[in-house]
Amino acid sequence: MSIWQAIILAIVEGLTEFLPVSSTGHMVIASSLMGISAFQFTKMFTVAIQFGAILSVVVLYWRRFINSFDFYKKLMVAVIPALAIGFVLKDVIDAMLERVEIVAISLLLGGLILIFVDRWFKAGPRPVTTPSYKNALVVGLFQCIAMIPGVSRSASSIIGGLTQHMTRKSAAEFSFFMAVPTMLAAATYTVLTDLLHLEISDVVKFNLPKIQAGFASITPQEWQVLAVGNIVAFLVAMAAIQFFVGFLTKHGFKLFGYYRILVGLVILLLLSMGVDIQL
């Protein structure tokens, strides 16, 4: 992977990770069109640059992260379902990740839902701005739907928040906060296993020889590509989050729904043309 390819993928990641449009679907298209989707490093890279995207949330909302311990307890309640189901159904999820058509169909169906979601869920006279533990758990359960590739973690968790009568803004922001531990766990696991070729037991037992060998296996160019990717993803994600919150508050989800349908159709068109698309 060249630096320019890394920059393009990082821009795609930063733009789409926190929007309800499925970053997976966009990564599929971008990496396939650049002819790098088949490489193992590409698959690892698209997850590893989530570190940069995660940092953008912490920087933008740093006051919330030092506000109170209650904030962290609610986050844990929200992310435990995804961590537990992800661990138990890892093989099933990995199998679905090999099916590009699932991504396309998920984008289409999710797009249809987003077109109508503003009508279905409207904040009442006393909308929820600070979720309770029950609200956090329900949103966390909705986030689990995003284990189906193409669904979008952001979309499912925000819709979960709307079912709890949260405002669009508060639902979107809580989705961002949930992304930090959820994506951190996924990115860390991928880096350890796919980049450093370590077992979790090696890390837990602090097997220094294997850890050193893992780091030594990474070439200087790969370190450079990862560094550039995370920096670009961080900067782009910061801009995307600020745009999304403002746009969502004023205009709702309909435009994102139409856009998802378009992306899903593009993937199906590429598949019908025989383009080799891999996840």
pLDDT value, residue 279: 59
Check whether 127 has a pLDDT greater than 60.
Answer: yes
Please state, rounded to an integer, the average pLDDT across all residues of the chain: 86
Average pLDDT for 204-214: 82
Segment (H or E) for 161 = helix 153-163
Nearest to 7 by CA among 52, 40, 38, 39: 52
Check whether 120 has a pLDDT greater than 90.
Answer: no
Check whether 123 has a pLDDT greater than 60.
Answer: no
Classify residue 57 by its DSSP letter: H
What distance in Å separates the CA atoms of residue 233 and residue 30, rounded to the nearest whole number? 15
Phi and psi at 166, nearest 5°, equal -80, 150
Q: How many CB atoms lie within 10 A of CB 94?
A: 10
Q: How many CB atoms lie within 10 A of CB 78?
A: 29
pLDDT value, residue 61: 92
Average pLDDT for 146-160: 89
What distance in Å separates the CA atoms of residue 106 and residue 115, rounded to the nearest whole number? 14
Output the CA torsion 65→17→89→207 (10° steps): -60
Check whether 251 has a pLDDT greater than 70.
Answer: yes
Q: How many CB atoms lie within 10 A of CB 220?
A: 7
**Residue 263: band (very low, low, confident or very high) from pLDDT cuts 50, 70, 90:** confident
From residue 253, alpha-carbon distances to 44, 149, 151 in Å are 30, 20, 15
More confident position, 184 or 67: 184
Please give the full DSSP string across 5-33, using - where no structure is assigned.
HHHHHHHHHHHHTTTTT-HHHHHHHHHHH
Check whether 224 has a pLDDT greater than 90.
Answer: yes
What is the amino acid identity at position 108? L
Taking only the tens place, the pLDDT of each residue in 20-46 is 888 877 887 888 888 887 677 888 888
